[in-house]
A and B are shown apart, each in its own frame.
Chain A
Amino acid sequence: MRIFLFDARKLQTAVWLVLFLLVWEGVAWSIRHWIPVTQPETKWPYFTDVMTYVFANLGMLFKQGGITFANALSGFAIGSLVGLLLALIMSLSATIERIITPYIVSSQMVPIVGLAPIVFGILRDADMSRISMAAYVTFFPVAINALSGLSSIPSEKKELFASYASSKPVYYWKLALPSALPYLFLGMKLAAPLSITASIVVELMGAPNGIGVTMVSSLYYGSSQSTLFWATLFFSALIGLAAYLVISVIERVATPWQPEFRSTGGGNT
């Protein structure tokens, strides 16, 4: 049964890959043959061309992508911490929650494309700006999800801890935080790719390095660089995916009790 499921999953991946390639190359072919655009290879290149370029320039892409990833990661870590702290503070009292919520919601109304140049202008440092923006987009989903985790603890569990005459800190450490972990990870999985995007947006505004810079410069040099542009786009997506997968793996290790991670069979009633 297990082996069968594993094979089914492999098959799904294979089908997904084939469909993806068919659609991509189909679109590229259609643009070339049916729609009269100039330089169709810049509008939608063949995937195989993009991949050839990616592999030819793997070193450069990894170097620039690594810079983006490292900065996003720092910002992501800070943002997650801030988000969790906010959630903890808000879970302490409904009044505090009502005071803080409008601030954190309105903070997300400002488009990051508008905010990035402001932050860059003030901090005047590419790394600091990337980290700040990554933290800025991270804290919101983390705070909202962690808070809903903290506020959805079954009342009987709270009563159990009340009957132990538990102090607030012990209650948080032994019950509230572990209960909220799956929700915290949900927020972090949403935030991880966002933090990469935020970091790239800052780079578009004029950082000295990073995958975003490569992307912008490829646009300046016209059609000769168009494959580079697509390669950076593809690589950016890969970094975002990597960020998501890293958090997913950590989640699996940190919260093995979640129903979807339970490996051992046995009564479930």
Chain B
Amino acid sequence: MSTEIVINQVNMRFGKGDKAVTALSDINLDIPSGEIVSLLGPSGCGKSTLLRLIADLLEPSAGKIEVENESPRQARLQRKFGIIFQQPTLLEWRNVVDNVSLPLEFTGHSRKERKQIAMEQLRMVGLEKFAGHYPWQLSGGMQQRVAIARALTFNPPMLLMDEPFSALDEFTKERLHLEVIRIQEQTRKTVVFVTHSIPEAVFLSNRVIVLSAHPGKVKHNLSIELPGKRDLQIREHPAFFEYTTKVRSCFGEGAYDEDLLV
């Protein structure tokens, strides 16, 4: 398995002088390609910051990040990241299909190709019937599926997901978990998934990176090998509980911060 993202001695500080806050301290991390890797931790552990550093939306104060042997900037300019945020972040003035085809307007596709590819992606998330609807006519879960379809349209090798389901109800969340797993199995994309939910991290990931807060540090790097297919039944399997218990124990006393309870 080749290594997609290499994070080497990365530090991130916000602000200057006495008021400076260290968000991330001495992060060393290898993220292999073709896996789902979760960045898990309480609020303030800098997991979203780390995601933004990988995506070149922020620059580290110190240290180096390489994405497919290039700088994050080069990777961003080659449009190698499909980003999905906590909020769907759709453009309200565009209907669903025009939102999904937005990335293709940057890659020189013709109008016909854009529409065709966008419709394919909408089929993939089961929303082809809603192509002509506007974002506000859809539920939160549907909007987030549109955002997933949009991130997939220009077929980036990496998906970066920043707590994408934390604003959704439990039923929608479960469906979208399965959808992410299915899409990743079909496309073999590298997925970096930021979350504060232990079961979500264990269920989705091949690997869970546990971060501690103030300052953000890598506390544990855990490979998850669940026996069998990742479906809703596996959540009842003893191995699943072993992993969640193991991850929770990484946080010690702080494990019962409300932040970590789902």
Judge whether B106 and A262 touch: CB under 8 Å. Answer: no
Q: Give the chain B neighbours of A166 by CB distance below 8 A.
A: 106
CB of B139 within 8 A of CB of A170, answer: no
Q: How far is the CB of A70 from chain B (nearest CB, A)?
A: 32
The one of B55, B102, B106, B140 that contacts A269, using a Cβ cutoff of 8 Å: B140
- Known interface pairs A162-B57, A165-B106. Does A157 touch B137 (Cβ–Cβ under 8 Å)? no
The answer to whether B140 and A159 touch across the interface, beta carbons within 8 angstroms, is: no
Instruction: State whether the Cβ of A234 lies closer than 8 Å to any Cβ in chain B.
Output: no
A163/B139 contact (C-beta < 8 A), A157-B89, A178-B93 known: no
| Nearest B-chain residue to A255, judged by Cβ | B93
Cβ of B34 under 8 Å from chain A? no
B83:A163 contact, CB within 8 angstroms: yes
- Of the candidates B106, B136, B138, B140, the one whose C-beta lies within 8 Å of that of A164 is B106
Judge whether B251 is part of the interface by a CB distance below 8 angstroms: no
* Chain A interface extent, by class: 20 to 34
B interface residue count range (under 10 / 10 to 19 / 20 to 34 / 35 or more): 20 to 34
Which residues of the other chain, B, contact A267 by a CB distance below 8 angstroms? 137-140, 142
Residues of A within 8 A of B78 (CB): 165
Cβ contact within 8 Å between B77 and A165: yes
State A160–B76 Cα separation when bound (angstroms): 11
Contacts of B137 in A (CB 8 A): 264, 266-267
Task: Note all chain A residues with C-beta closer than 8 A to B134.
Answer: 257, 262, 264
- In the complex, what's the smallest C-beta–C-beta distance from A114 to chain B, in angstroms? 42
B-contacting residues of A (Cβ < 8 Å)?
154, 156-157, 159-160, 162-166, 170, 174-175, 178, 255, 257, 259, 262, 264, 266-269
Give me 5 other A-B pairs in contact (C-beta within 8 A), A156-B87, A157-B89 excluded. Answer: A160-B89, A162-B56, A163-B79, A164-B103, A269-B139
User: Would you give 13 A-B contacts (Cβ < 8 Å), ordered by A?
Assistant: A157-B89, A157-B91, A159-B55, A159-B85, A163-B55, A163-B57, A163-B81, A164-B103, A164-B106, A165-B77, A165-B79, A257-B134, A269-B139
| Chain B contacts to A: CB under 8 angstroms | 52, 55-57, 76-79, 81-83, 85-87, 89, 91-93, 102-103, 105-106, 133-134, 136-140, 142
